[in-house]
Amino acid sequence: MLDLFAGLDSHVAITLVLSLGFVLAFEFINGFHDTANAVATVIYTQSMKPRLAVFASGMFNFLGVITGGLAVAYSIVHLLPVDLLVSVNTARGMAMVFALLTAAIAWNLGTWYFGLPASSSHTLIGAILGVGIANSLINSTSLAQGINWGKAIDVGLSLLCSPLVGALLSGLLVLSLRRFRPDSNMHKTPFQRQQVEGRKHPPFWMRFMLILTSMGVSFSHGSNDGQKGVGLIMLVLIGIVPAKYVLDLNSTPYQIERTRDAALHLQQFYNRHQVELDAMFKPAANDADKSKHECRPRDTLKTADNLLTALGDGSSYRNLPDSKRWDVRTDLLCLDDAAKKAATLPNLTADDKQLLTNLRKDLTATTEYAPTWVIVAVALSLGVGTMIGWKRVVKTVGEGIGKRDMTYAQGMSAQLTAAVSIGLASQFGFPVSTTHVLSSGVAGTMVADKAGLQMSTVRSILLAWVFTLPVSMLLAGGLYYLAASWLK
């Protein structure tokens, strides 16, 4: 990691430190919100001591990030327009990173101050959408091109459906436990058990399940939310020290050969469908004004030729000059964008659609990566944030959602549902909110147990959920618009 600063001018090194600090600060604040939810029930039910719980949560977050892959990380990143992704090494690209992070941090701090379990994922996605819309306004392009709307719709549906699934499944699980074990101590609150039996801890097996599911939520959170910070750090590294991070310099000869083959096959696909693709990729009015950092899907054949020429017969990216590495990344992103758009052609066969999907995987295999130190830094930031700010959110989740305090069974049901659903979402590359899934799960258990809901708290959480997206969009979009206008 220390060689990151080798050969950098002092002002570039300072910019890099500030940029990385901004991303890690976002992940640190993420710990206030999202990771605190992972330990809320296990602390509230007195199954674990707070310090032990947050330490264990940090460890499982770490394991989740390490083993979770990068599908969610780059799913978030690719909400941005490709023109911003290929110009992230410019002043405007860095303005984009700072704008979306500033907006996300500001909103997260505000909602944390009031103890609301707001979603860092929701905030970050809103900030990215705001930057994309502002970029369209600045470049006088249609909003249809400013954001990857197909990906945005998928993300929006996952954010909308996951809390509903969490509430339903958690409620059903509590009802099942009530039916088959109606007299069990698991249906007591910590206060009730202490008053009746003089014990503050839950029954052994329930305590075991509460700890197990809490660590499951932490693991799932790391494999989902932790990836978002990884993606943001990679944007920063690519923008400031592109020679070292613009491509995965540890790519194997086989991976590079697959990339080369993908470019050739995309050329062949374009030749087979040239008439339809030329009609789809009609020159835009502002095409002549586009810089070399912007993609022109109509020039796919030329872009593929440029990539193949740059790669040559080489088997290692380390042999490429620094400037060529950036050109290779730009060509790969532009070809991936062209393949994505080509997949929307009408009357494509299933084989052609599968071919384009496979080509996109090969084209991005050596650009969508992250060094181990990046993953470790994000995991540590999440864990430390949890240790500092967990109390406000734990109190809201344990006492503020229902009219009665949370029982052991309710806590376990909400956590089990959250752990499984978030884990599955991570496997399929869908970003979801740990906060929303767990909070709605707790609410579902309260309704199932006929405990009732504290509507003032529920209303506040819902308002935070409703306003998070538009507020973060306005903040990030406004900041980016002002910065980009000033840089012109």
Report the residue count for the chain.
Answer: 488
CA distances from 96 to 192, 228, 242, 478 (A): 52, 16, 17, 11
> Does 148 or 447 have the greater pLDDT score?
447
- Give the pLDDT score at 10: 80
Gyration radius from the chain CA atoms: 24
* Phi (first) and psi of residue 251, to 5 degrees: -60, 140
- Give the pLDDT score at 393: 57
User: First and final CA of the chain: distance in angstroms?
Assistant: 34
Q: What are all long-range contacts of 297-300, with beta carbons under 8 Å and residues at least 24 apart? A: 297/334, 297/337, 297/338, 297/341, 300/266, 300/267, 300/270, 300/334, 300/335, 300/338
- Give the pLDDT score at 50: 77
- pLDDT tens, residue by residue, 172-211: 998 888 888 877 877 777 777 766 666 667 778 888 888 8
Distance CA 137, CA 132 (A): 9
- pLDDT tens, residue by residue, 430-467: 777 777 787 788 888 888 877 667 676 677 767 777 78
> Does 183 or 329 have the greater pLDDT score?
329
In the chain, the percentage of residues whose pLDDT exceeds 90 is 11
Q: What are the residue ranges spanned by the domains of the chain?
A: 2-243+370-487, 248-364
Would you say 422 and 35 are in contact if contact means Cβ atoms under 8 Å apart?
no
- Give the pLDDT score at 144: 65
Distance CA 167, CA 446 (A): 10
Measured from the Cβ of residue 100, the count of other Cβ atoms closer than 10 Å reads: 32
Q: Which residue has the tokens 């060529």?
A: 324
* Phi (first) and psi of residue 335, to 5 degrees: -65, -40
The letter for the amino acid at 48 is M
DSSP, collapsed to helix, strand or coil, labels residue 402 as: strand
Most confident of 80-89, 92-101, 260-269: 260-269
Would you say 36 and 257 are in contact if contact means Cβ atoms under 8 Å apart?
no
Average per-residue pLDDT in the chain? 80
pTM: 0.77
Would you say 472 and 123 are in contact if contact means Cβ atoms under 8 Å apart?
yes
**Is pLDDT at 403 greater than 90 in this prediction?**
no
Most confident of 133-142, 224-233, 406-415, 473-482: 473-482
